[in-house]
Chains A and B, each alone.
Chain A
């Protein structure tokens, strides 16, 4: 005899993903272990976080409980953060801090103020009673009492950061999709600029090319390797690239471009040439220009863009840094950064910092994903960068790029997309701030050229 779950392997994997790449251990199966509440509690108490999975024929309904199942029936209602999900349509609905009441006959979930009842399980009758609106929200069929075939309980292991787990899981996918919609609908504030150009600048190996790949992967829906990434003593990226990104594999181009450059090196004559930076910022550097660490591009280069217009310019610079390297950045590198920044300030381009390789990325945003947490923005790396470049803390952004096997993670996506949104906002701000004369001047120049 073997006790095996009724979930197919594919369903199990989807469930693990839905719950944030956790692992599941089957503890109880009603058809084998007896269907009474007592049988269930005997096997499921003191097991940590659990999910209770109910098989309804064509749909799977489940409830996540953050804290232990109690040892015995308890008529007093007890607080226990939880949320509900239905697997068929990958929908989760949050009901935070529900209270759980367990009697000999039923398992009942109420809102924590005890006013609203959500659902009950009556194992002896194999019945599930569901609040009508809850069933609707989970897109289950419209009856509110269901007969079920089987009930299983699993222990959930591998939850990262329990404190905001419930809100993160229940809200993340929705917020991610909302952000994605938002960025798809984005339009630069100045009509003259059809696409915002974001330039990535930073030391060798800081994750510039990976950031582009990550953004593109999200919009494309599967992993992309368009920009070559990797590690070596000198920069892997040797060519200036202006990447445009499509919405979906064959969709229309999105209104932003990511410009990837060669890594900066503290030594002169290695890495991106300082003299190239003003040309890049002004939009004179052509796509696919092969960098020369010893010499900047000159106007004699055959593809040199002699009179770039406002749309060719860089609208936002992101200084890309590995967050783990900041506290021991060499003084030479700091000097170089300040030089770069001088050029950027000269051109009046918007600037942000992008910190990559943030391992604890789950912990960066507040529960509602709207802002970074204070505890994160007050860490020494952020303070140091802030002091070094005098960039407002709200423009010191963080991501974890897709750098190993691509397992889509809504929280990673949220950070990447939020960062992109901040960059676009910064670009818009500085475009609005542009003196009319300057837009005019550049316009005039380009018209002259034509």
Chain B
């Protein structure tokens, strides 16, 4: 008999939320360890808090929130599933041996499990509360017992903190490929309100050690980005600049929003910091923010296309077409790109504990599939984060997500730099010829 639980993913998730972020390790399964109370107690005593589940027509459970021992009375949370709803009530304190030992026929107990006979007995009041069909003897086919641990216990927090430190040091010491440029430029592109400005704020917050709000965010007029901004970030408050620049742009929109032309100009490095976007027409040469001779240094090296994870499925077909067009343009100029899904913290049922292993979390996997289906990006190019929005303090779990995403972007940028044809990477000579020309201009006006 295989030791795998009969619980569905959804049921497990609902229990996890009911019990405030617990993770369950299966210890005992009746079909593998016999329907024997003594086996159950031998395996499950002294395992800390435990959860007992019985599977009949309904899934019924009992949660013991203290260390479970045979004869120490404990209070117990009883619950029953109705589809995805759960009804519950507290009983006890009782000795676990009486409730789950099953050999007693004491009629004064409101609830007990007879494991050998595979029957649960409970009084009418409980049956009502738990919304079960009126029948005092409920038979079941399987019984499982789990140890309950906190999904985010100190051990994991410590582990995440260690990981955070190693990511931080990797990013601090990162050097662009062959040091072709001093700082890698990452452009944040995406629909209005996707969380582009918030991602910049998040990265800055991680390196600052507390949450900052340099870029204005939000959906009212002040929070909508209408200016092109290139943000360099300092390591700590007075530290030196980090080896990357995040470029924040105006949101994409079906009608208004950033022009296609401007995107291409940004990619090639023609547009400088603080350009005021005009959604009716793209920038023209001669504008104060127009750079005639962009160097490799001024170009974008990686694009992150940002979406709100909760609304990608609802993107209009015009928006999808626009994104695909942008992707084609990027492919044409060899631009490396990744997708960044924000707002994962708002996904249904998700809890903070799920963020530590986000790419294995089932709804996120399905989300990545959906993005792949809808927009055609490869699964390996889709990253997820939860931005800092309303909190004051940074948190190692979120930091790790943000830093991992950033590291992937820098790797993608390195791929872009490596992929450039030789004549384009030879910037120094280009730069020198340009300087020489300018000098000449200066000498003979």
Residue B408 is within 8 A (CB to CB) of chain A in the complex: yes
Residue A224 is within 8 A (CB to CB) of chain B in the complex: yes
Q: How far is the CA of A47 from the CA of B330 in the complex (A)?
A: 53
Q: How far is the CA of A45 from the CA of B257 in the complex (A)?
A: 64
Q: How far is the CA of A33 from the CA of B48 in the complex (A)?
A: 11
Which residue from A225, A231, A236 sits with its C-beta under 8 Å from B415?
A225
Residue A182 is within 8 A (CB to CB) of chain B in the complex: no
| A43/B43 contact (C-beta < 8 A), A9-B160, A210-B378, A230-B376 known | yes
Residue A27 is within 8 A (CB to CB) of chain B in the complex: yes
Name the residue on A nearest B147 (C-beta). Answer: A3
| A1/B415 contact (C-beta < 8 A), A9-B159, A25-B26, A223-B380 known | no
Evaluate contact between B418 and A225: CB separation under 8 angstroms: no
Residue B362 is within 8 A (CB to CB) of chain A in the complex: no
Minimum Cβ distance to chain B for residue A415 (Å): 17
Minimum Cβ distance to chain B for residue A34 (Å): 9
Evaluate contact between A405 and B359: CB separation under 8 angstroms: yes
Evaluate contact between A1 and B48: CB separation under 8 angstroms: yes
- Interface majority SS (helix, strand, loop, mixed), chain A: loop
Residue A48 is within 8 A (CB to CB) of chain B in the complex: yes
Which one of B47, B147, B372 has the highest number of Cβ atoms from chain A below 10 Å of its Cβ?
A: B47
| A42/B48 contact (C-beta < 8 A), A4-B153, A224-B415, A230-B381 known | no
What number of residue pairs across chains A and B have CB atoms under 8 A from each other? 112
Minimum Cβ distance to chain B for residue A324 (Å): 16
Minimum Cβ distance to chain A for residue B331 (Å): 5
Name the residue on A nearest B4 (C-beta). Answer: A157
Minimum Cβ distance to chain B for residue A19 (Å): 16
Which one of B66, B155, B158 has the highest number of Cβ atoms from chain A below 10 Å of its Cβ?
A: B155
Q: How far is the CA of A385 from the CA of B145 in the complex (A)?
A: 50
Evaluate contact between A9 and B158: CB separation under 8 angstroms: yes
Chain A, 428-442, contact with B by CB distance < 8 Å: what is the 0/1 string?
000000000000000
Residue B156 is within 8 A (CB to CB) of chain A in the complex: yes
Residue A448 is within 8 A (CB to CB) of chain B in the complex: no
Evaluate contact between B46 and A33: CB separation under 8 angstroms: yes
Q: How far is the CA of A230 from the CA of B149 in the complex (A)?
A: 40
Q: Which residues on A sit within 8 Å (CB–CB) of B336? A: 225-226, 228
Q: How far is the CA of A46 from the CA of B377 in the complex (A)?
A: 45
Minimum Cβ distance to chain B for residue A212 (Å): 11
Name the residue on B nearest A8 (C-beta). Answer: B159
Minimum Cβ distance to chain B for residue A425 (Å): 28
**A400-447, CB < 8 A from B:** 402-406
Chain B, 22-48, contact with A by CB distance < 8 Å: what is the 0/1 string?
000111000011000000001100111
**A1-38, CB < 8 A from B:** 1-5, 8-10, 12-13, 25-27, 32-33
Residue B67 is within 8 A (CB to CB) of chain A in the complex: yes
Evaluate contact between B2 and A25: CB separation under 8 angstroms: no
Q: How far is the CA of A232 from the CA of B326 in the complex (A)?
A: 13
Residue B233 is within 8 A (CB to CB) of chain A in the complex: no
| A232/B46 contact (C-beta < 8 A), A27-B27, A225-B415 known | no
Can you name 4 extra interface pairs (CB under 8 A) apart from A46-B32, A48-B2, A404-B368?
A: A1-B67, A155-B3, A226-B419, A228-B331
Q: 29 A–B contact pairs at CB < 8 A? A: A2-B150, A3-B46, A3-B47, A5-B155, A9-B155, A9-B156, A9-B158, A10-B159, A10-B162, A10-B163, A25-B25, A27-B27, A32-B46, A46-B1, A46-B3, A48-B3, A223-B408, A225-B380, A226-B336, A226-B419, A228-B337, A229-B378, A230-B381, A236-B331, A236-B376, A250-B178, A403-B380, A404-B359, A405-B359
| Residues of chain A at the chain B interface (Cβ within 8 Å) | 1-5, 8-10, 12-13, 25-27, 32-33, 42-43, 46-48, 155, 157, 210, 222-226, 228-232, 236, 238-239, 250, 288, 402-406
Listed from nearest, the 5 A-B pairs whose CB atoms lie closest are A9-B159, A404-B379, A25-B25, A231-B376, A1-B67
